[in-house]
Structure 1
Amino acid sequence: MNLDELRAVLHTSLAPRGAAWLATSLDLVGRDSTAIRALFPAAGRHCGRGPLAATSPALGGWTIEDAARVVLFAAAVDVADELAGLYRDGSAAEQRALLLGLSHVDVGARGFPLVVEALRSNDPRLVAAAMGDYGAEVLGDAAYRHGVLKCVFMGIPLAGVAGLGKRTDDELVRMMRSFAAERAAAGRPVPDDLLARVPGLSRQDS
């Protein structure tokens, strides 16, 4: 899902008043990146908070405000300079949108601290968003493995974890087997999602 496709999906989800607000806001952030400080939090109020009208699996679970914020984020000049402040001062919904946007906007290494902070949180929305394409690209092996394991522990579907097929290694499989054994020893079920998506792990390991 590229930005043009995201904009097209968003357009079909916006009421005329929301579309007009977004068009004006995109013009403002395109001329002055600091305008995003006020516009980013306001996106939900003006554009809506309902589910995005999308059929793409890549946008599963996205809301209209998620998409509007990512589009705003992508349009802002020098947006990397605003990244840390937006995340620090933002609500969980705003932080989630920033994390989603990292996979659509080139901010270099400036987004890495946001991913690290999100993976320390106990908010499944932030953890799931942190394990998107950007997170899969910038996280080191150990951090990526722990991110995957945290998703399993929190019940976050592994289908949404980027790079899993490419980055699964022997150590991750070992960690998953250990997790499965701990669950079984405690009399708790091993998630089917884990069994289905992590190569080398079978129900026998539990």
Structure 2
Amino acid sequence: MSKVNKLLHHWLLKSVSDKAFAWLEQKQTQIASGAPERVFFTAFSAVPRYLGKEDLQLTFQDLEAAQDVIPGWYPGHWSVDQAGRTLLLLALPHDDTEGYVRSLDQVFSTADMGELVALYQSLPLLPHPELHRHRTAEGIRSNMSNVFQAIALRNPYPANYLDNAAWNQMVLKAVFVGSPLHLIWGLDQRANPELARMLADYAHERWAAKRSVTPELWRPVGRFADGTIITDLEKVLADGDIDEQKAAALACAESPLPQAQELLSRYPDLQSSIQQGNLTWSSFSRERFSVYK
């Protein structure tokens, strides 16, 4: 049994009845032994009826164990039915790659919203992860916010497997729909010049429409700021509220350009706070998004 399987089993043992757990184990065994596909599809659909939809009761140590197995895996918001469905997915025989992907495609194509959330959350745990890029890009285009967030937030799959074009579209959409960017795993590592330009262009569109932009927009921008973006940051520092000013200051601090450092020096309190380590992107997110723990 893989480490992921062991963790999910351990968590479900603490969270569901013995009867429900026995049913799940029976279905896992049948699926792993090559039962007809209908056994998998019927069981996958029936999981909430047998296990319920309560949240997993995870400790800090449980979450650390998840990170140790797969960096970026955060099941702190998973429910028991999502964990159960993931175990069924992991039970699917996958030696025949084409047959495995075909089975996944079928379950994706017929899934309801709850099933889609479980499917996309499980992507970093599944075999042959490199084969799920197209499916992930399709999910990013979903109009269902729960489905999009299952991919974009607290999920290491996009950072590990999407190309820059798909990654950049995901981050831009997260800004557009108001998702908290700090919950995108790998956001800082996957920042790139094209994304910085796209986000700056989006900010200009919002300003032209007399609308605000989330201060988090500037997080992936600073390292790749050009002269035009430095001018944008100057505007934010001059006219923005305190959160916007903090974000612009952090972006300036990350820029290698002398113009950015000169701009930051005009705001000595913010500059000092950054230099002393009191203002970081992590502290900014904790203060601004205390609801998203």
Relative to the length of structure 1, the TM-score reads 0.86
SS at structure 1 position matched to 2:172? helix
Aligned residue in 1 for 2:261:
none
* Contact 2:199-2:221 at 8 Å conserved across structures: no
Deviation at 1:45, TM superposition (A): 1.3
Higher relative CO (Cα under 8 Å, sequence separation at least 6) belongs to: 1
Change (3 A) 1:187 1:64: farther
Aligned residue in 2 for 1:176:
199
Aligned residue in 2 for 1:65:
81
Aligned residue in 1 for 2:220:
198
Which piece of structure 1 moves more, 97-106 or 178-187? 178-187
Unaligned runs of 5+ in 1: none
Aligned residue in 2 for 1:19:
21
Which piece of structure 1 moves more, 134-143 or 183-192? 183-192
SS at structure 1 position matched to 2:125? coil
| Sequence identity (%) | 28
Aligned residue in 2 for 1:139:
162
Aligned residue in 1 for 2:149:
128
Partner Cα separation in structure 2 for residue 46 and residue 173 of structure 1: 47
Deviation at 1:30, TM superposition (A): 1.1
Tell me the matched-pair count: 204
Change (3 A) 1:168 1:44: same
* Contact 1:18-1:46 at 8 Å conserved across structures: yes
Which piece of structure 1 moves more, 134-143 or 48-57? 48-57
Question: Residues 174-204 of structure 1, C-alpha deviation per residue, up to 9 Å, x if partnerless?
Answer: 2222222333333333224434x43518544
Q: CA RMSD in A?
A: 2.4
Change (3 A) 1:160 1:28: farther
Deviation at 1:47, TM superposition (A): 0.9
Partner Cα separation in structure 2 for residue 83 and residue 180 of structure 1: 38
Aligned residue in 1 for 2:49:
45
Change (3 A) 1:194 1:62: farther
* Contact 1:128-1:161 at 8 Å conserved across structures: no
Change (3 A) 1:178 1:114: same
SS at structure 1 position matched to 2:19? helix
Structure 2 residue identity aligned to 1:126: V
Relative to the length of structure 2, the TM-score reads 0.63
* Contact 2:124-2:157 at 8 Å conserved across structures: yes
Deviation at 1:108, TM superposition (A): 4.0
Max radius of gyration: which structure? 2
Question: Residues 130-158 of structure 1, C-alpha deviation per residue, up to 9 Å, x if partnerless?
Answer: 33322223321111101111111112222
SS at structure 1 position matched to 2:139? helix
Change (3 A) 1:187 1:8: farther
Question: Residues 59-113 of structure 1, C-alpha deviation per residue, up to 9 Å, x if partnerless?
Answer: 2332211111111111221343410000001111112211111100122443223
SS at structure 1 position matched to 2:74? helix
Aligned residue in 2 for 1:94:
115
* Contact 1:74-1:101 at 8 Å conserved across structures: no
Change (3 A) 1:15 1:185: farther
Deviation at 1:53, TM superposition (A): 1.6
Partner Cα separation in structure 1 for residue 51 and residue 22 of structure 2: 9
